[in-house]
Structure 1
Amino acid sequence: MPLSVYIGVDLGTTNLKALAIDARSSAIVAHAARPVATLSPKPDVAEQDADQLWTLFLDMMAELARELPAEVAIGGVSFSTAMHSLLAVDEAGKPLTNALIWSDNRAATDAATIKQEHPDLYQIVGVPIHPMLPLCKLAWFKRTNPRLLKRASRWVSVKDYFWWKLTGRYEIDYAMAGATGMFNSTKTAWHLPALALAGIRPDQLSTPVDTTQTVPYVPPATGAVPGLRAGVPLVIGASDGCLANIGAGALEPGITTITIGTSGAVRRTSPRPVRDGQARLFSYMMHHGNRQQPTLYAVGGPTNNGANVLQWVSEKIMHLPVDGVLKQAATVPAGADGLLFLPYLHGERAPLWDASVRGSFQGLDYVHTSAHMARAALEGVLFNLRRIELLLARHAGPTHVIHANGGFAQSPFWVQLMADIFAVPVRLNASNESSGIGAALLAHFALANPPTSLAELAQTVQFGQMFTPNPDAVKIYRQHYNQFAALIEGSSSGQ
């Protein structure tokens, strides 16, 4: 019996990844990746070349095809992607700009204006107003390059662009649409007043569709995707955050997913959207309900400051490899002998939503060493994530267990800190490819015959080590977290 697989493609801002999972066990049977270059010629600029990304995608899929048996049966392909990218295309689909990615901050002034003049917009679109949003990026184009705004036939995300090249359709899934700041998920339609702020018409955006939208692949006469035969079902998929919840097996109440890569995020799966009174949390639709599966949302908050803080300590303070920094930090007691670190080296999204906020050490004393600073930095990243989690718990209930993934999970020391600071068990996924796995599982869900549920598929996710809280450390960190929270409340205009 030939191997049957589902393929998940993850279009990240650091790497493009593709993996194939066994249709029966969900085990990863093949994997390929390609690094992505970001263009940052000036401060606040962060762009990527969409056509270069497509070339990397084709090369990556060729490698994946080589890893799979010749007679493999591909049940379907689904797509995960980083949120908030934006590029202009002409009538022929040719890019007129690079893709502005989430970290492009040129729309900061426009975001501040929209946030001040339209304070009720968050309640409709469900995502805090921030320069990362395509809404704000379009407002920036409207202000700085109105000729381009009129010239562009369409404004699309990187995944929209890929989907058009694969299917000939301009479509955007509900999760990605929700990440634009211009989508009303309750009505599953573009919010026209937001489009007016952006200076565009609905026909300049892709058509919103459910995350399970499926189109059979029709290879073009030239340039077919390696390994994909005619008729293979293509499932549009969702954003990386939504699919990471599925791929982390985190669909049940009380399970919180925390990802720490370069940046980080805290997410829960919810049957309803969340609206925070101070506009600090997002809500993205994972799936529009039907008879097999009720509507699901991914709710939570992202942080700009994750493992990039550890990298900063490594390069700028200790001048040691990351492994050496972690070893030194482990020699310092919990709480870093009273040293606290506000980890805002790159401004901050949740919970502050303040691009201008900056980091600092608090309580720095003559007895403190660079090892203390390293430990305080690691603790500070987790204190900030804890703040997001506690905010989320007010709306979605308490956390009973954390499903953790991302690059930080390679450090047992840092994962144990998470268990101690959050005071709940932390369960590692067997693979850090949760978004890609989630995409593949969504394809399985969309195409399964007989039908299955996402909850049933999430139960096939494989796990690694479980970390339990140390009661003595929990007591110390409860006190230190309260001090951290008091510093934030006293110094931030976002609280």
Structure 2
Amino acid sequence: MSRPVVVGVDVGTTSVKAVVVDDTWHVRGQAGEEYPTRYVGATGAEQDPDDWWRATASCVSAALSDAGVASSDVAAVGVSSQAPTVVLLDSDGRPLGPALVWLDRRGQSECARRAGDTDRIVELTGNRPDSYYAAPKLAWLLRENPGLATRAAAMVMANGYVVHRLTGVVSADTTHTGLSLLNDLDAGDWSTELAELWGVPRRWLPPVWEPTAVVGTVRPEAASVTGLAAGTPVIAGLVDGAAASVEAGVVAHGDVCEMTGQSTVVNAAVEVAAARASTGALSVMPYPIPGHHLVFGAMVATGGILRWFRDELTEDSTGDTYAALDALAGTAPLGSGGLVMLPYFLGERSPIWDSDARGAFVGLSLSTSRADLVRAILEGTAYGLAHNLDEMAALNLRPSTLRVVGGGSRGRTWNQIKADVTGVPVEVPAESLGAPVGTALVAAAGVGLLTDLVEVARARYAVGERYEPDPARHTAYRRRYQIYRELYPSLAKVHQMLAELR
């Protein structure tokens, strides 16, 4: 007799990944597929929602084949995604245009228009007004497109679009809603008051479900392209950072993990009452671990800067792998030959919340080597991580270890730099595929295949590698970190002046 499995899908910033997880919580099959992002001017970032669907269908089919399981063995499907990324649908469920990706900063003027409402927005949502969140994006779309309010029937996030294509149901989950600036964090639902504040039609906002809730089943037309069986339960899903945190065993107050891919997000499980003490310097959203929210610091571009260096400043980007760049950085001295990098290449989220900020290499000289530049990227992003951990310390969150997941966790030089800069031991899980696995576990909980998500997530986590901070290097980095902290205030006016010229 065959054993049940669950399918986890993550719609990431650069690709879809799908996994098949069995009832012993091991990965049986996996697949991935990339898609493009279209950058519009200096602050816009868009994707085609149907690219997500095509990649999802392809990856689910390939993962099932890789696992060698029958469609009838699949007990549930879950979808997580980059967030907040918004899509407007017409009355037939078709996208009215491209999705505005979380990277898109064109709504910052909408935040400025509502600056006087900051305290109320933070009171209701736990988050401060910033174009990272969904509401400013929607307000910008409404201002730029007269008549959109009547043409659009619904707004969904990235995972919500894929869930819609799977089931025909329009839905939202509490984690994505928590990153909208349209929500009441305590009520776990939309806020009519905030919808009116941002000018977003209340009828656009779909029913909100807990991540584990089954919102529908796979339709025959979706079954034919994914290899899933029609009628397979589909849960509401969750934000990718929350899913990755579940996979990393972040299940108790004060557990912290760092996820680096295109961006870096440092996530902490925090008891609800303590999370509500956040003043908006960090972000907060509901979390599928009972009694906890996820408090996180999010940087816009970290791994993305390394990719930019590879693609734009090397002659052969195909041969210059991330592993080679990580090794090259290891040949440069601590401090990168006197170079400090600000990692604000597309504005920045926490903790400075400045969409006008831009990246900088400070300290360049004719002796600066290519290895110095690469190491400066790794060090600069580690300084940004330390800055976010400082903000967490203000909430009495001081992790004893830092679990690192995502593509960036494969960089041995980078991991050691993070440990040395922060003074916190860095752990790499023995097995980590990130968000799709966490999503599969949440899906299993949703259909009763597992009864204790906390117990399973904790039991699955095992340390593969551990990087201890070196006291002498940590001392040396503390001096350089103070220089890093001085750079942004010194350059803030310059960033603003340059923004006026863009």
Q: Which TM-score applies when normalising by structure 2?
A: 0.90
Aligned twin of 1:279: 280
Cα deviation per residue 1:458-485 (whole Å; 9 max; x = unaligned)? 3213442111122221221122222222
Partner of 1:66: 65
Q: Distance in 2 between matches of 1:312 and 1:89?
A: 33
CA separation of 1:309 and 1:50: change in aligned 2, threshold 3 A: closer
- How far 1:443 moved relative to its partner? 1.6
Gaps of 5+ in 1: 288-292
- Cα deviation, 1:203-242, whole Å, max 9, x if unaligned, reads 2211111111114525336764533224432221210011
CA shift at 1:324, angstroms? Answer: 4.5
SS in 2 for 1:338: coil
Aligned to 1:303: 299
What residue is the counterpart of 2:110 in the other structure? Answer: 110
Conserved in 2, the CA contact under 8 Å of 1:133 and 1:179?
yes
CA distance in 2, matches of 1:70, 1:373: 47
Q: How does 1:255-266 map to 2 (within 5 A)?
A: 255-266=255-266
Seen in structure 2, the aligned counterparts of structure 1 residues 299 and 73 have a Cα distance that, compared at 3 Å, is: same
Indicate yes or no: 2:388 matched with 1:388: yes
Map 1:323-334 to 2 at 5 A: 323-334=323-334
Distance 1:89 1:277, change over 3 A: closer
Deviating more after overlay: 275-284 vs 214-223: 214-223
The offset of 1:173, in angstroms, is 0.5
For residues 163 and 73 of structure 1, do their structure 2 counterparts lie closer, same or farther at Cα, with a shift above 3 Å needed?
Answer: same
Q: Write the distance in 2 (CA, Å) between the matches of 1:319 and 1:221.
A: 45
CA distance, structure 1, for counterparts of residue 294 and residue 278 of structure 2: 18
The alignment status of 1:121 with 2:121, answered yes or no, reads: yes
Q: Deviations over 1:91-147 (max 9, x none)?
A: 221221221111122222112222355443123112332223221012112222130
Measured in 2, the distance between the counterparts of 1:381 and 1:70 equals 41
Between the aligned partners of 1:318 and 1:224, the Cα distance in structure 2 is 43
Please say if residues 429 and 463 of structure 2, whose CA atoms lie closer than 8 Å, have aligned partners that are also in contact. Answer: yes
| Cα 1:456–1:57 shift into 2, 3 Å | closer
* Separation in structure 2 between the aligned mates of residue 436 and residue 277 of structure 1, nearest angstrom: 28
Q: Give distance in 2, aligned partners of 1:384 and 1:29.
A: 36
Rate the CA distance shift 1:326–1:200 in 2: closer, same or farther, 3 A.
Answer: closer
State how far apart, in whole Å, the 2-side matches of 1:327 and 1:60 are. Answer: 31
TM-score by length of 1: 0.91
1:402 maps to 2:398? no
Return the offset for 1:317: 5.2
SS in 2 for 1:382: helix
Q: Is the 8 A contact 2:247 2:457 kept in 1?
A: no
Displacement of 1:454 in angstroms is 2.1
For the 8 Å contact 1:270–1:396, the answer to whether it is kept is: no
Residues 421 and 49 (structure 1), Cα distance of their counterparts in 2 relative to 1, 3 Å cut: same
Give the aligned CA root-mean-square deviation in angstroms.
2.5
Determine if contact 2:218/2:228 at 8 Å carries over to the other structure: no
d(CA) in 1 for partners of 2:350, 2:271? 22
- Give deviations 1:184-206, integer Å, cap 9, x for gaps: 12012211222113323322211
Q: Distance in 2 between matches of 1:28 and 1:22?
A: 7
Gaps (5+ residues) in structure 2?
A: 496-502
Structure 1 pair 305–94 and aligned structure 2 pair: CA distance change class (3 A): closer
State whether structure 2 residue 482 is matched by structure 1 residue 482.
yes
Give the stretch that moved more between structures: 129-138 or 225-234.
225-234
Give distance in 2, aligned partners of 1:221 and 1:405.
Answer: 35
CA distance 1:168–1:474, shift in 2 (3 Å): same
| Shift of residue 486, structure 1, vs aligned partner | 3.1
Change (3 A) 1:159 1:254: closer
Paired position in structure 2 for 1:436: 436
* CA 328–58 in structure 1, closer or farther in 2 if over 3 Å, else same: closer
Which range moves more in the overlay, 71-80 or 232-241?
A: 71-80
State the alpha-carbon separation in 2 of the partners of residues 128 and 319 from structure 1.
42
Q: How does 1:441-480 map to 2 (within 5 A)?
A: 441-448=441-448, 451-480=451-480
2:358 and 2:328 map into 1 onto residues whose CA distance is: 25
Query: Contact 1:219–1:225 (CA<8 Å) still a contact in 2?
Result: no
Correspondence for 2:210 = 210
Moved more, 202-211 or 57-66: 57-66
Residues 29-57 of structure 1: per-residue CA shift (max 9 Å, x gap): 10011212223354433222223322222
Report SS of the residue matched to 2:252. coil
Shift of 1:432: 4.4
Counterpart contact for 1:254–1:401, Cα < 8 Å: no
Q: Distance in 1 between the 2:408 and 2:489 partners?
A: 27
The alpha-carbon deviation at position 489 of structure 1 amounts to 4.6
Contact 1:86 1:155 in 2 (8 A): yes
Distance 1:118 1:410, change over 3 A: closer
